Structure 1
């Protein structure tokens, strides 16, 4: 076996002493009771990782008295920096939740925060999990997908004033968006008003292209607003790490002297703050893995615009048609790419702007907005993993301040209508609306064949004709086999003047009439958008695809002008409108409302079932009870 080009080295194992006020779970009640006297609101951080969010919340004014994570090195890091309890435990275990609930019984907790493990929701995570499922090493339904339920269970036991959840944007935008909708429904059931937003880190002074989904739940009567961006120009990586000393690839000295540039940027000063007097000239963890000779040669040829595919063939160790950005040199005058836990494996995505090496631990920590005094337990790979998985402390600080501001006052005029109320209203209205009034009556069905029959064939007909003949043909062609057995189907479709659609609907019927047709459904004859909509209406998919009419309804109902420039606001608004949507009925209701009342131009608000809570209909933020929406009888 040939030797690797770079000798394997785990690096030095960093151990840190526990915080001088740390305690165990049995002592937490006494610790919390004493902490309450300091008048700072108490918070706990579940799935806390290395403590990025905890640090931000502390700086915002909270006192974080408990952190829980199943990753040993992260829990040890948290224990080194925070008083109270830092627990290395698996929150999927009911006995752990019971122990936490018992320890905090009777203690007023202001905030429960945390980020249930995000890998099942991330694009990189999905690829890895798909491979493990194929290899039989993991079940298709990853149990971490359900760890949000553990989070809710703790919230239910502790009953905090507010809740903060962090995750990757794909939890809202991807195939797993149902998890976000379920989480919102669960928190609303516990009497929280729930707000969601995807925030870009660079808008809050953090020098990287990082986006994260945040969910904030506050008690009814609390007017919460996400923090406004603090900048509209992108921060420069230069202003974050250019003051750090030059080090070679493979540097292993855990402590080296700072270098003192002529001028420090505001961000660099912020990172250097809080260093103890006796540590003023000590820079920790400015260490980095070694680089292979062939990679070093490649690095020397690269600037921040060079793509992996631009390198000479002799220097490519990976396919450039798949790994077009396998190597990425960062640019001084732009933010870094998003720091992720992948750094623990290799740093090819994070090549220093000038030096021919990857980012050091300290540089990665700075880009995440960790101050220089904040250190990480374990070997270098453990440190990189902790840093990449953390919530940037500076972003946590801004969110913490917004939550404190909201929970410090009560506003009886706060306008919030629960997702459950909106979803139920749409569902009930669709069920009760006379069929002859519906623009697309097949939306009331949950049978995929009936829905596709309507979408494929009847949607092309004038509304008046649909109302006259749909009920007849719905019964005549009740299922795909019945359609195929009808020897007069061609004549009937010809009479509708839809002969050109006969091959399409016949192919659909043949596909759906096969045994176990839904197990491996392929309908190339149906457009992708049409099929996605049909699967949603039949509740055969968790996705609720967004089309212009649906977004039009959501935008008019919520009137969210301040959110229109935020990332993913369309998906988040529609998710709030339809909720969990068992059976696809709320989704069907939105489509029908869009076609009947909420048309382009001037909407017909007086007849719309959502007019009591619609911003466009009312043009004023009046308090509305969710109960007003839900039809009785």
Structure 2
């Protein structure tokens, strides 16, 4: 063990707060969870300028001038050297500055990388230059190698365990073990940790040798049976577990570092539902009477809470999160301008997807056509007027090719996974309240992802949605941070 790592362990076991570096930080879902659990956030690296600005605005609100600019600056991790970055962040001894590294490196290139390429980082500090397609995970590992944290967390989609025939987490664990870490990974769903969203992700935890003989993941606090599609995806992701007892050829020579997902006991309270998460927020109906116009949606207008609306424990948590309290109202409760679709949204039933929406749209078209016929104004079939009426009523997508493009939420169930694609459209999350007949707002997406109401997203609307869809739910991150802190304290 490096002497510097032992010094960090001694410091933490004396009661000091672990110092965190967040890589691929986004707007700060992991940062928020770890800070709330008692960690000290030292710095973050994020390439998206808008997300980097949101991160700095929320986690360094008291800094000014050049200090604030340093934290708000977007950075390409490929071009960022660990030691020089820590010096720039005001840490004169970079190796001493960080106890825990967290982050979720994108995995797009890994079908082309493989085990040998990952191992190069342990032997050559600039291995990532040899294959720029694979540099993101390699850069994460390079930060581990140079800054020598006592613990680390990696987050990614489940497919990281079955990426072009590779189990990337097994390969990363092998590299980390060569660097002196004990590792383990599993699949967790945020809905089992108090988040009103079914979001399945793969988490990997590592500790410097001597801290823990085995890796532990947090026990669930809520129960919910995942829909069949989630369980099917999980089985596909787990196809390439070495030594998994199912007759699958081992990819590695040693036993899998996969740990079974912690079980959910029947005694646990049920998952937080969409209604519990959103019901205290002010309803939005202005779009139904022409008050909403096409154009960018900015977060420059405060919408007060309606105190007559019932509030749940979850709603109170979102308003009173320490450091992110909000007592007056919200400024990002804005929605998309979708006038063609409001009537369709109103008719859809909970759980309806695009095929049902398309049928409702055709019914609406026929009703409009019949009304015009009753007045003697019906356009001739296939005429310009007829086609304009069709296009103004029926969405253009083939229901057989895009069955999952739309979905109306169910009030008494958690939401389905929020994706970064929310930044382009929000049809995957149509509000369960037919009287509002709309897709969810930015603030509602934040609530479903467990961001508190006082957390500010640099807008306008589309980047706000994208930041939320890309984030790790803070409550999920907090659960992981707490179990890691117990281990670090010994």
CA distance in 1, matches of 2:459, 2:325: 24
Q: Out of 399, 404, 414, which is 2:480 matched to? A: 399
Q: Partner residue of 2:444?
A: 363
Aligned partner of residue 187 in structure 2, secondary structure: strand
Gaps of 5+ in 1: 1-36, 123-140, 410-633
Q: Normalising by structure 1, what TM-score?
A: 0.53
**Offset, 1:185:** 1.5
Conservation of the 8 A alpha-carbon contact between 2:325 and 2:454: no
Q: Is contact 1:56-1:397 (8 Å) kept?
A: yes
1:99 and 2:84 aligned: yes
**SS of match in other structure, 1:65:** strand
User: Displacement of 1:106 after TM fit?
Assistant: 4.1
CA distance in 2, matches of 1:217, 1:115: 14
What's the offset of the Cα at 1:165?
Answer: 0.6
**Cα gap change, 1:182 to 1:346, in 2 (>3 Å):** same
Match of 1:115 in 2: 104
Unpaired stretches in structure 2, ≥5 consecutive residues? 1-13, 61-66, 112-129, 224-269, 363-389
Give the number of the structure with larger relative contact order, counting CA–CA contacts within 8 Å between residues 6 or more apart: 2
| Alignment CA distance shift 1:237-1:205 (3 Å) | same
Residues of 2 paired with 1:385 and 1:278: CA distance? 23
Query: Displacement of 1:108 after TM fit?
Result: 4.2
Counterpart in 2 of 1:61?
Answer: 38
Aligned residues: 355
**Is 2:148 the partner of 1:162?**
no
| 1:283 paired residue number | 330
Which residue in the other structure is 1:235 paired with? 272
Query: In the alignment, which residue of structure 2 is the partner of 1:353?
Result: 432
Question: 1:118 & 1:78 partners in 2: Cα distance?
Answer: 22
**Structure with greater helix share of residues:** 1
What is the rounded CA distance, in whole Å, between the counterparts of 1:402 and 1:278 in structure 2?
Answer: 25
Shift in alpha-carbon separation, 1:278–1:234, aligned structure 2, 3 A = closer
Label 1:275 to 1:288 Cα distance change in 2 as closer, same or farther (>3 A).
farther
CA distance in 2, matches of 1:143, 1:171: 19
Say whether the 8 Å CA contact 2:420–2:467 is kept in structure 1. yes
SS at match of 2:20: strand
> Shift of the alpha carbon at 1:180?
2.3
Deviations 1:111-131 (A, max 9, x none): 000111255689xxxxxxxxx
- Please point out which of 330, 333, 356 is paired with 2:412: 333
- Greater CA radius of gyration, 1 or 2? 1
Q: Whole-Å Cα distance in 1 between the matches of residues 138 and 190 of structure 2? A: 27
1:408 alignment counterpart: 489
Distance in 1 (CA, whole Å) between partners of 2:332 and 2:458 is 11
| 2: CA distance, partners of 1:121 / 1:320 | 33
Hey, what's the Cα distance between the residues in 1 that align with 2:82 and 2:95?
Answer: 16
Cα shift at 1:316: 3.6
Give the C-alpha shift of residue 255 in structure 1: 1.1
Give how far 1:274 is off.
Answer: 4.1
Q: What is the Cα-based RMSD across aligned positions, in Å?
A: 2.7
The verdict on how the C-alpha distance between 1:401 and 1:155 changes in structure 2, with shifts beyond 3 A counting, is same
Instruction: Verify: 1:322 aligned to 2:369, yes or no.
Output: no
What is the alpha-carbon distance in structure 2 between the residues aligned to residue 121 and residue 212 of structure 1? 17
1:379 and 2:364 matched: no
Q: Which residue of the partner structure matches residue 306 of structure 1?
A: 352
Distance 1:237 1:225, change over 3 A: same
Residue pair 2:169, 2:185 contacting (<8 A) in 1 also: no
After superposition, what is the alpha-carbon deviation per residue over 1:167-202, rounded to whole angstroms, capped at 9, x for unaligned? 111111342634323211111111111110110010
Distance in 2 (CA, whole Å) between partners of 1:149 and 1:393 is 26
CA contact (8 A) 2:153 2:205 kept: yes
Of 292, 296, 320, 1:273 maps to 320
Shift of 1:296: 1.8
TM-score by length of 2: 0.68
Quick one: distance in 1 between partners of 2:321 and 2:180? 39
Moved >6 Å (runs of 4+)? 275-278
Aligned to 2:55: 78
